[in-house]
Copies of this chain bind each other. A is one copy, B any other.
Amino acid sequence: MKIKNPRTGQYYYEIFPPTFEELKTKTKSMREAQEDWKESGIEHRIKALQDWKVVVEEHKEKLIDALCMDTGRKWETVLEVDLVALSIDRWSKISREFFATTERKTSSIPFLEIEQGYEPYSLVGVISPWNFPLLLSLIDTIPALLAGCAVVVKPSEITPRFIEVLQKTINQVPGLLGILNYIEGGGETGADLCKLTDIICFTGSTETGKKVYQAACNNFIPVFLELGGKDAVIVTETADIERATSAVLWGSVANAGQSCLSIERIYVHRNVYHSFLSRLVGKANLLKLAHPTMDSGQIGPIISEKQVIIIDNQLEDAFKKGAVLTAGSRKCEELNGGFYCRPTILTNVTHDMKVMTEETFGPILPVMAYTTVEEAIEFANKTQYGLSGAVFAGTEEEAMKIARKMKCEAVSINDAVLTAVMHEGEKNSFKMSGIGGTRMGPSAIKRFVKQKAYLINSQGVKDSW
């Protein structure tokens, strides 16, 4: 399986997916290793992950190099690698607290007591996407490991180069041997994984998510899906326009818009529409493509060639239906074999355009005016997705009133894409954006264990016939 470099369009790497039989052998031995891992206790597991953290830190440069070649962009990559340590620390704390709460309790019935137990699933499968290859491969993996599961991870075949580097760091931690494995492969390997694991965690497109749900159903296992989004922002007439334009731009074009939680629809009150738009255009025009070097600008290449086609198709559809190009360009640009998309602001947009209904995954900012708050909320909810959203208003009270009516799992108030940085809240995707328990907050650990109750008659013979 040959892999392209997104900055040059050239094949530059090759991966060799395991056969089903090879995967079967590997997962079998992982299940055996998990027996000890499960019994080892939470402190042992925290120690193993802390050891890994140190090794990852030592190999930081190599990891960044591999990820940069995979994704063609730099600062998001550095962030991804830096977040590994924070994530391990955060989940260590949460899981320690979680497993501390197993003490015995009396019940409401005389002589009957209860003790809560946990049986981790033996083997968790993680299938992760190409937009944040390292970060999103770990988001479910770390809590699953701490819960006592073995984890096999299949990152996207579009950005696989970091796998070898990361697996080497894993192999240097004796405690993780046979417990955590990264494997290379495409859709077929992902399908194989669904047949060999006890839970599947999938992050990616809604289209593929449906297939993963079907595979889990066939195998009668639980599934956790985090899928597409079409996040809306609502800017009221009382909002701080300076602040709103900066945050919205950031939320739309970071990682060249290749983020499930990036802002893809902007609804602005009619009375501030023009001042908002002119400032947004001014700020957008200051941004530069990260070409010829990764440090040349803020906007890296579109990582997946398929995505270039989707973006161009949506733009073409929008212009055909009357959208006006207010900043950016009419289509992605090819530079030295890579494809780039400038921050592109569209006005005169309508809800029959693909760019207003389908996930774009690019730095496209369609801006639409609204007249009443009710209308804005209706617009924002006019989507099959329900991932996140944002509201900007003069007071928090005004913003919260709107946010409470938005049909999505998280709303940033007077800021954008805070879901990327705040991990404390529990949330569940709405509509076609996902299925399954929260992946954030303490309850996230529960996804990876079967809870078990010990019901104890501590005294006396039961009064029965």
Contacts and interface: CB of A to CB of B under 8 A. Distances in A.
Interface of A: 105, 107-109, 112, 114-117, 119, 210, 213-214, 216-217, 220-222, 240, 242-243, 246-247, 250, 287, 298, 396, 400, 403-404, 407-416, 418-419, 421-422, 424-430, 432, 435-438, 440, 443, 446, 449-458, 461-462, 464-465
20 contacts: A105-B424, A112-B421, A246-B465, A247-B464, A250-B464, A396-B456, A400-B454, A408-B452, A409-B450, A411-B453, A411-B454, A414-B456, A415-B457, A418-B455, A422-B455, A426-B451, A426-B453, A427-B451, A428-B452, A443-B446
Contact of A452 (B105, B115, B410, B413): B410
B464 A418 contact: no
Contacts of A250: 462, 464-465
A411 B464 contact: no
Contact of A409 (B246, B400, B443, B451): B451
Contacts of A217: 213-214, 216-217
Contacts of A115: 400
Contacts of A415: 112, 455-457, 462
Contacts of A414: 456-457
A109 B453 contact: no
B246 A458 contact: no
A464 to B, nearest CB: 4
Please give the count of copies of this chain that the complex contains. 2
A438 B451 contact: yes
A217 B194 CA distance: 15
A421 B109 contact: yes
A112 B438 contact: no
A93 to B, nearest CB: 10
A424 B107 contact: yes
A216 B435 CA distance: 11
Contacts of A214: 217
B437 A437 contact: yes
A358 B112 CA distance: 31
Given A409-B453, A418-B457, 12 more contacts: A105-B424, A107-B424, A213-B220, A216-B217, A246-B462, A396-B458, A409-B450, A413-B454, A419-B455, A428-B449, A440-B453, A443-B443
A210 B220 CA distance: 7
A446 to B, nearest CB: 7
B462 A243 contact: yes
Nearest to A213: B217
